[in-house]
Amino acid sequence: MQLDGPRLEPKSGKAKQLVVFLHGYGADGNDLIDIGGVWQNLLPDAAFVSPHAPRPCGQAPVGREWFPLTFRDPNERWIGVNAAAPALNGFLDAELERLELPPEALALVGFSQGTMMSLHVGLRRPVAPAAIVGYSGMLVLPEDGDPEAFAAEIKSRPPVLLVHGDQDQLIPVQALMHAAQALATLEVPTQWHISQGVGHGIDQEGLRHGGEFLARHFAARK
């Protein structure tokens, strides 16, 4: 399955970095691409792309999903991220090649289910991305998985920023704490920010933190 979605060309005219937005369950690539416009002054050399997830959403008439959510199988998220990973990796490799960029010029930005995909795929890329920003999401772990076995899958340790609203009813803010703890165990450098009074969404403060985090880590790669 070939992924595609809306793109924003770099403000400077020549792409030196690639920022890939991964949307949440029931949305599509159009949901996040506008963030690229907000970040263009901070990241003038970045090309932005927001692929539509590969599957029509089971619960939304027009949206897409990276993997189905029925909540009947405790392991369905783990099965889901693994099933969706090859198509996403293929897309990332193709976009980097199209822009003639090295693999370390990549950053992943996810929201909700897209954060699950960003963390799953980003930590397993042969070359670490410059950074990963995860909004309102979680780190997916196998239900009965051995942490040692899980650690063996981690190929790269890019800097990660997790941002979550403290009023999130869909994925409670505790998911940020669990993810930060697990990432620390895996020796992945992690920062986090909790947005006060924010539900399952991204506020201006969260956007600012995300953009500045990417700008800082892209600059560190130069």
Asked whether residue 82 is assigned to any structural domain, the reply reads: yes
**Mean pLDDT across 128-154:** 87
Contact 196, 112 (CB under 8 A): no
pLDDT above 90 covers a percentage of the chain that reads: 86
Cα(119)–Cα(209) distance, integer angstroms: 18
Asked whether residue 145 is assigned to any structural domain, the reply reads: yes
Which CATH number fits the domain that encloses residue 171? 3.40.50.1820
Cα(192)–Cα(209) distance, integer angstroms: 9
With 90 as the cut, is the pLDDT of residue 118 above it?
yes
Asked whether residue 206 is assigned to any structural domain, the reply reads: yes
What single DSSP character describes residue 27? B
Asked whether residue 47 is assigned to any structural domain, the reply reads: yes
Confidence of residue 72 (pLDDT cuts 50, 70, 90): confident
Confidence of residue 163 (pLDDT cuts 50, 70, 90): very high
Asked whether residue 2 is assigned to any structural domain, the reply reads: no
Q: What is the mean pLDDT of the chain?
A: 94
Q: How many CA atoms lie within 13 A of 201 on its CB side?
A: 8
pLDDT given at position 148 = 67
**How many independent structural domains does the chain possess?**
1
pLDDT given at position 197 = 97
Domain range enclosing 135: 7-221
Confidence of residue 136 (pLDDT cuts 50, 70, 90): very high
pLDDT given at position 73 = 85
Asked whether residue 22 is assigned to any structural domain, the reply reads: yes
Asked whether residue 1 is assigned to any structural domain, the reply reads: no
CA distances from 111 to 98, 141, 157, 166, 210 (A): 25, 17, 20, 15, 12
pLDDT given at position 146 = 63
pLDDT above 70 covers a percentage of the chain that reads: 96
With 80 as the cut, is the pLDDT of residue 59 above it?
no
Asked whether residue 24 is assigned to any structural domain, the reply reads: yes
